[in-house]
Amino acid sequence: MLVSAVARFAVARTFDVPWIAPDEMIYGLVGESLWETGTLSIRGIAVPYYSLLTPALVGLPLSLENLGAGIALAQALQALAMSLVAVPVYLWGERLAGHRWALAAAALAVLPPALWYGGLLMTEALFYTLVTAALLALARLLEAPTVARQGVFLTMVSIAATVRLQALLLLPAFVLAVALHAWFGRTSTTVRRLAPILAGVGLATVASLVLAATGRNDLLGAYGELAETAPGSTGVLSQLTWHSGAVVFMTLGLPFFATVTLAIMAALRVVESSPAVRAFLAVASAYVLLLVGQVSLFAAGYLDHVSERYLVTALPLFLLGLCVWIAQGAPRPARVVVPVAAVSILALGTVPASRVAESSAHDALTFLPFVRIFDPGDVAVRGGLVGFGILAAAVFVFLPRRLLPVATAALAIGFVGISALAAREIERFSRLELMNDLGAGDRSWVDRTGVASALHLDTGEQPSTVVARLTFWNRSIRRLVRLEGVPEKALPQVAVLIRRDGTLMDARGNQLSGSHVVLSATHALAGERLAISPPTDIAPGSGLWRVDEPLRVSSRTEGFSPIGDFEHGKVVVYRCSPGALELTLLGKDGLPIRITVNGFPWRTVQPQPGGLWSGSVPPLFFGDGESPCLFELRSDGLVGSTRVEWVPER
């Protein structure tokens, strides 16, 4: 366990954390607020419930003066928390398969690539361990349904829900597990003894479903959208098939085949199982069935990819199942194993390459290196998955019993190898996404200016990930606002609007105030720009302004790429007064560029391909001094620009 935590932490230090946006930023920022103010908020604005324990765990180290050191300490705590899964796995495994195989299961549980989430600021670090402990408590409850064990189980569910509300799935899993336990044992004794709590949990589950169906999703906090009807990119059946294949793959096959075989044998009463094994199989079957169903339903409406990340809590169950299967002599009745292997291979073959592509890297760490090896081609990926399934099934069906410990060692080596490859991919992707959002410069550049408090104005030109990263890395950004019409981001923002004269107003009609403002470089404010960050490949840079009161936008640009290219660019100048729009244009295609002012043609220029044109465009008329001027630049080809700036007359 400690070896795993140290190794995971050491490798995770090569990651650019936070990586997964906006999740990690939200947990970190909420955690800082939790320790600073005792509230679940971000920059003074309350947020829906995402998690309590994860922000509490990472928030304290992130509150250190040195944010980099705080991240390192948070990574160490997260890596330790996730590696602690070895404790409940060992305790459970010892009851099921003896000391030796319990150690094997505990060791295997800390090897999958999913444990890299322990090096990030994610809920999986605590959730992986706590759900496993809750499932162990449920199995113990089925073995001896005492009031004390019922209390332990419900307490564990409550604790897990303070990490992630997905833990509430444990309640219907409890109901299904009791039913399966009665079926496997051909007795209703447990059902009768648990009738009161079954009734309570059942009614609570039904009530939750009814409330969800009637739109009362506020009960689920930030996860209320899970219950909302939304158009999905695929059907539930497709997602169910893909995620079933994902479960097979993330276990590397053998643990899945072994556990499913034991469960089917218990259902068919092929062999008699001990009370502990029967309880384990009932819990594992109930939880995995509901988990795959829940994740598939969610993915059908909200995701365009396979979400392995939400399935990781099933891993310890399958690894325990493998060790129990071997300890029981590795039974392989043909009428069970052949259909299981065939259906699993078919499920693997249905997973499209587009659903496990690099764009979903953070949700599919086991698939990530596999897709890199086989190229993103659909035929190659499907063929590779089917080939993997056939190989794993052949090992399961035909390998002699005496060699199964060797197969278990090979499984461990496989997990280690995939984890190593996944770590390299996380390092690459985390660095790439940081570069795309903030560039190669100082990510804490706002704090470095010495400004005590700044307002961030989201104008819509930058991806939401830019706003999240910039806020995370700069504690001096104390307020978050967005222009009206800009879609709401994951970080809470107050909506403001631009009046005709460029003044910014809130929803109550009050003028926005603030001494310093950070916003996209596409906008200029009345005041002095103190610092600027360069543009990236996907986003314009940002500027820090010392502003005059009242806070007012002096100009803004639209239609320009982060590097200044355009086909139809617009420049709006508020409170248009004597001055000129200074332009330096690059004729990339050599086609004419039509320039208009307030809809009136001003001039058409045509620089040579690769040539420059520089000039000043006057406003033509100034109006009442409160009205804006609109400059438009149009071309049928691509035009570059190195300067587009409004310069008032001095």
Percent of the chain with pLDDT over 70: 95
In terms of domains, do 216 and 101 share one? yes
Number of H helices, E strands in the chain: 21, 17
pTM of the model: 0.91
Where residue 229 falls among pLDDT bands split at 50, 70, 90? Answer: very low
In terms of domains, do 360 and 411 share one? yes
pLDDT digits (tens, 9 = 90+) for 553-570: 999 999 999 889 999 999
Looking at residue 624, its pLDDT comes to: 62
Looking at residue 187, its pLDDT comes to: 86
- Closest alpha carbon to 79 in 133, 28, 117: 117
Q: How are beta strands 523-525 and 553-558 bridged, if at all?
A: antiparallel
d(CA 488, CA 455): 17
Structure tokens at 268: 């068919």
In terms of domains, do 324 and 402 share one? yes
Say how many C-beta atoms besides its own lie within 10 A of residue 394's C-beta. Answer: 12
In terms of domains, do 541 and 595 share one? no
Looking at residue 353, its pLDDT comes to: 81
d(CA 219, CA 222): 9
Residue 620, classed as helix, strand or coil, is coil
Looking at residue 359, its pLDDT comes to: 66
In terms of domains, do 301 and 449 share one? no
Looking at residue 623, its pLDDT comes to: 59
d(CA 324, CA 105): 9
Looking at residue 222, its pLDDT comes to: 54
Looking at residue 232, its pLDDT comes to: 46
Looking at residue 543, its pLDDT comes to: 96
d(CA 319, CA 323): 7
Where residue 226 falls among pLDDT bands split at 50, 70, 90? Answer: very low
Looking at residue 227, its pLDDT comes to: 40
Looking at residue 228, its pLDDT comes to: 43
In terms of domains, do 631 and 566 share one? yes
Mean pLDDT within 464-484: 95
Last residue of a domain, one of 379, 414, 433: 433
Percent of the chain with pLDDT over 90: 74
Give yes or no for residue 590 having a pLDDT over 70: yes
Q: Which of 214-218, 233-237, 411-415, 515-519 has the lowest mean pLDDT?
A: 214-218
In terms of domains, do 425 and 404 share one? yes
Mean pLDDT within 631-636: 95
Looking at residue 430, its pLDDT comes to: 95
- Mean pLDDT for all residues in the chain: 91
- Which residue's structure tokens are 């040579």? 608
What is the sign, positive or negative, of the torsion defined by CA atoms of 203, 205, 211, 216? positive
The total number of structural domains that make up the chain: 3
Last residue of a domain, one of 556, 572, 587: 556
pLDDT digits (tens, 9 = 90+) for 414-458: 999 999 999 999 999 999 999 999 998 899 999 999 999 999 999
Give yes or no for residue 385 having a pLDDT over 50: yes
Say how many C-beta atoms besides its own lie within 10 A of residue 577's C-beta. Answer: 14
Mean pLDDT within 245-260: 97
pLDDT digits (tens, 9 = 90+) for 45-77: 999 999 999 999 999 999 999 999 999 999 999
Q: What's the CATH code of the domain at 619?
A: 2.60.120.260
In terms of domains, do 22 and 100 share one? yes
In terms of domains, do 526 and 613 share one? no
Where residue 101 falls among pLDDT bands split at 50, 70, 90? Answer: very high
Mean pLDDT within 362-367: 89
Most confident segment among 136-140, 501-505, 572-576: 136-140
Give yes or no for residue 474 having a pLDDT over 70: yes
Name 518's bridge partners.
456, 544
Where residue 219 falls among pLDDT bands split at 50, 70, 90? Answer: very low
Where residue 217 falls among pLDDT bands split at 50, 70, 90? Answer: very low
Q: What is the DSSP string of 410-464?
A: HHHHHHHHHHHHHHHHHHHHHHHHHHHHHTTS-TTHHHHTT-S-EEEEE-SSS-H
- Which residue's structure tokens are 């496990």? 356
Q: What is the DSSP string of 302-352?
A: H-SS--GGGGGGGHHHHHHHHHHHHHTT----HHHHHHHHHHHHHHHHT--
Last residue of a domain, one of 433, 451, 484: 433
469: domain range? Answer: 439-556
In terms of domains, do 300 and 404 share one? yes
In terms of domains, do 322 and 455 share one? no
Q: Which residue has the higher pLDDT, 541 or 379?
A: 541
Mean pLDDT within 395-407: 95
Looking at residue 441, its pLDDT comes to: 87
Distances (CA, A) of 548 to 42, 111, 501, 519, 526: 26, 57, 14, 15, 6
Where residue 211 falls among pLDDT bands split at 50, 70, 90? Answer: low
In terms of domains, do 139 and 182 share one? yes
Looking at residue 376, its pLDDT comes to: 61
d(CA 520, CA 529): 12
